[in-house]
Structure 1
Amino acid sequence: MVSARPAVQQLPAYRPGRNPADLAREIGVDRAVKLASNEVAFPPLPAVVEALAAAAPETNRYPDNGAVVLTRALAEHYGVDPGQIATGCGAVMLCQQLAQSFNEPGTSIAFAWRSFEMYPLLAQVAGARAIQVPLTPGRSGGPADTHDLDALAAAIDDTTRLVFVCNPNNPTGTAVRRPELERFLDAVPAGTLVVLDEAYREFVTDPEVPDGLEVMRGRPNVAVLRTFSKAWGLAGLRVGYLIAEDPAVAEAVRKTYVPFSVSTLAQAAAVAALASEEEVRSRVAAVVAERGRLTAALRERGFDVADSQANFVWLPVGEQTAELAAALEARAIITRPFAGEGIRVTVGTPEEDDALLAALDAVRAAAPVP
């Protein structure tokens, strides 16, 4: 009998956000609202639609394996050399490429917890040890929701090849500020690569939260990871990118790239999206404004919601998580629960968020939630 590696057999299956059409049919309603996957609610940018139509006739050919046009556009956009960039099939694939490039059995990957749920799985697949450092309260009396960078630095040992700092953090939405981040980066050994996972960077409004590319400068063991899936609205096309201060880091990541995995359509769409930055900024501003409205409404209902720097908010409801998420789903609202800890809620349209708030009110009326 053929068997997979024990580490692979033990991997939990990744759970994507539930399909709203399936839920609507199941509970007998016209429409369900999905606030689980941190997608933007806007349709694709007009320039993206045009670029997809123009590229479609070329899809009988393999895509440009080096993503030369996209890489050049990114280099110009951020003022870096093309050799510092690696593209991939979404940021999560680049995370896997990083683990493949720098880890092996006997090494370790360090990260805060809870954070992006793929980090421990990447360590497991690579045969590396996962060093999980608990979050700390970001404000006095609040729940544990923020990176403890001093503890993370102390946890790094001579086996640690890779450190992920998710900033803003998924799923809590909190972010670390410049002094703490710079102090941490200066404390990390030169042989350990720190990856600033900035999937939600575009939604940051706190001026004290630095752009990772700024703190990367002059630090050859730092790289920044970003995606077109969130603010840029290309979640269905899967394209992300890594920018490294040391070109050798980007070169190593490119060597573990699955050939042709960033499609022709994805490359064309990403280039078009970059050229539509002003429209993206306008959309982000609308999301940020709605994030503020939703946060205030949730606080009025007694939820201890931190100031989010992403396009989602975190409800730290602890042991009530599963019960509340199920009650919301029964009312056609799909969220992302993390058992025993809290619920991540994507910022949707005003209408979608109003539906969430109405569902919360109905749940509370039926059985009050602390």
Structure 2
Amino acid sequence: MTRLTRSDLDALPAYVPGRNVADLARELGIAEAIKLASNEVPYGPLPGVVEAVTEAARSMHRYPDMGALALRDALAERLDVAADRIVTGCGSVALAEILVKATCLPGDEVIYSWRSFEAYPIIAAGAGATSVRVPNTATHEHDLTRMAASITDQTRLIFVCNPNNPTGAGIRKDALDRFLDAVPSDVLVVLDEAYRELVTDPEVPDGVQTYADRPNIVVLRTMSKAWGLAGLRMGYLVAAPEVAAAIRKVLTPFSSSTVAQAAALAALDQEDEVRRRCALVTAERERVTEALRKLSVEVPSSQANFVWLPLGDRAAAFASSCENRGVIVRAFQPDGVRVTIGTPEENDAFLAAAEAAL
């Protein structure tokens, strides 16, 4: 039979979503399972969002505003940047894909730390680009010195995930300054800040405030996490105007739906509530971290809404044991397990499952 798809995709792992809670509950014969695998915030939609979505749905038979002008203006005001520097899209991961598409031809190189966001190799391969994976340090952080040394004439784009998914490690300003100064001006650096609202370390810089004036820096953000819009898919980036204009040329038309735009605008009116919820998450993050350390797990400090258990080849067995107790976590075999911070009750259930598993 004639092959209809690219043969190099055979070696590419598929993106693995968190397991369905209803399926696990049915398997175990329990009323409800707990999902701590997908880095969602557990407190439901923000006030006013459901109402905005309901109203927007009345015009679903019409195409959305392709430029997302009202949303871009609102984001521009919040971030104190010009609106022509903002591009919205179907989550920050879709924008990351567009960035590779806009910068790379087949054979060009994309550098990223590993382990980092699991979509990076998929995105690079989809564009025919070559992945250059630089191993994390022993403390589960980006090895920025090795990443800088890995730049070649073929390097077109570098992903820097700050804080890093799945290890939670944040990159401090001094280290990031040195790295960015070492990157050639014709290489695009993408600061992936999907978890920025959860950062509590004052030394971990805000990419928009600190670096967005550099022509070769793009800052990625999402509204899926702290802003509670994971199911509606809304992300945005901040870039130099000429970079943003080029990205819009290859952006999937109408990729930001009417409903998602309305939800995002309503969510942006709830910044105080977002801060309150993030404070709840980060307080629980510290509690869970300390509890796991008392179980002799060397959990690194996290700046996101999850914690990393560097269990090595025990990762799959640990995750399976937790699932048998009704708690879904995310194993990254053979490196470790990522556990999303949930409500206090959910976290207590996880800690009990973790103690049994360990």
Bin the TM-score by the shorter chain. Answer: over 0.9
* Deviation at residue 12 of structure 1 after TM alignment: 2.0
- Does structure 1 retain, via aligned residues, the 8 Å contact 2:196–2:304? yes
Look up the match of 1:315.
309
* Deviation at residue 8 of structure 1 after TM alignment: 3.0
Cα distance in structure 2, aligned partners of 1:47 and 1:254: 30
Look up the match of 2:84.
83
1:189 has 2:184 as partner: yes
Cα distance in structure 2, aligned partners of 1:7 and 1:169: 27
* Deviation at residue 218 of structure 1 after TM alignment: 3.5
1:45 has 2:46 as partner: yes
Look up the match of 2:260.
266
Look up the match of 2:150.
155
Look up the match of 2:130.
129
1:326 has 2:320 as partner: yes
1:346 has 2:340 as partner: yes
Give the secondary-structure state (helix, strand or coil) at the position aligned to 2:303: coil
Look up the match of 2:95.
94
- Does structure 2 retain, via aligned residues, the 8 Å contact 1:182–1:215? no
Q: 1:253 aligns with which of 247, 272, 279?
A: 247
Deviates more, 1:195-204 or 1:325-334: 325-334
Look up the match of 2:331.
337
Deviates more, 1:74-83 or 1:187-196: 74-83
Q: 1:337 to 1:230 in 2, by over 3 A?
A: same
Look up the match of 1:216.
211
Deviates more, 1:164-173 or 1:321-330: 321-330
1:203 has 2:198 as partner: yes
1:164 has 2:159 as partner: yes
Give the secondary-structure state (helix, strand or coil) at the position aligned to 1:136: coil
Cα distance in structure 1, aligned partners of 2:6 and 2:330: 30
What do the CA deviations read for 1:110-139 (whole angstroms, capped 9, x no partner)?
01000000111111111111111111133x
Cα distance in structure 2, aligned partners of 1:109 and 1:282: 37
Cα distance in structure 1, aligned partners of 2:329 and 2:312: 15
TM-score normalised over the length of structure 1:
0.95
Give the secondary-structure state (helix, strand or coil) at the position aligned to 1:163: strand
TM-score normalised over the length of structure 2:
0.98
- Does structure 1 retain, via aligned residues, the 8 Å contact 2:65–2:258? yes
Look up the match of 2:228.
233
- Does structure 2 retain, via aligned residues, the 8 Å contact 1:71–1:85? yes
Cα distance in structure 1, aligned partners of 2:107 and 2:351: 48
Look up the match of 1:176.
171
Cα distance in structure 1, aligned partners of 2:11 and 2:249: 27
Cα distance in structure 1, aligned partners of 2:312 and 2:245: 42
Give the secondary-structure state (helix, strand or coil) at the position aligned to 1:255: helix
Look up the match of 1:306.
300
After TM superposition, the runs of 4+ consecutive aligned structure 1 residues lying more than 3 A away are: none
* Deviation at residue 65 of structure 1 after TM alignment: 0.7
Amino acid at match of 1:334: I
Look up the match of 1:64.
65
Cα distance in structure 2, aligned partners of 1:217 and 1:4: 38
Q: 1:275 aligns with which of 269, 272, 286?
A: 269
Give the secondary-structure state (helix, strand or coil) at the position aligned to 1:153: helix
- Does structure 2 retain, via aligned residues, the 8 Å contact 1:7–1:127? no
What do the CA deviations read for 1:303-351 (whole angstroms, capped 9, x no partner)?
1111100000000001111111111111111001000110000000000
- Does structure 1 retain, via aligned residues, the 8 Å contact 2:208–2:219? yes
Amino acid at match of 1:151: R
Cα distance in structure 1, aligned partners of 2:64 and 2:277: 29
Deviates more, 1:302-311 or 1:3-12: 3-12
Cα distance in structure 2, aligned partners of 1:13 and 1:110: 20
- Does structure 1 retain, via aligned residues, the 8 Å contact 2:212–2:219? no
Give the secondary-structure state (helix, strand or coil) at the position aligned to 1:104: coil
- Does structure 1 retain, via aligned residues, the 8 Å contact 2:212–2:238? no
Task: Name stretches of at least 5 consecutive residues in structure 1 with no aligned partner.
Answer: 139-144, 364-368
Cα distance in structure 2, aligned partners of 1:182 and 1:275: 33
Q: Percent identity?
A: 57
Task: Name stretches of at least 5 consecutive residues in structure 2 with no aligned partner.
Answer: none
Give the secondary-structure state (helix, strand or coil) at the position aligned to 1:345: strand
Q: How does 1:98-117 map to 2 (within 5 A)?
A: 98-117=99-118
Give the secondary-structure state (helix, strand or coil) at the position aligned to 2:355: helix
Cα distance in structure 1, aligned partners of 2:182 and 2:152: 12
Cα distance in structure 1, aligned partners of 2:217 and 2:224: 22
Cα distance in structure 1, aligned partners of 2:59 and 2:124: 37
* Deviation at residue 2 of structure 1 after TM alignment: 4.8
Cα distance in structure 2, aligned partners of 1:54 and 1:123: 38
Q: How many residues align?
A: 357
Deviates more, 1:217-226 or 1:155-164: 217-226
Give the secondary-structure state (helix, strand or coil) at the position aligned to 1:101: helix
Amino acid at match of 1:250: A
Amino acid at match of 1:264: T
Cα distance in structure 2, aligned partners of 1:360 and 1:137: 23
Give the secondary-structure state (helix, strand or coil) at the position aligned to 1:326: helix
Amino acid at match of 2:247: V
Amino acid at match of 2:275: R
Cα distance in structure 2, aligned partners of 1:210 and 1:249: 22
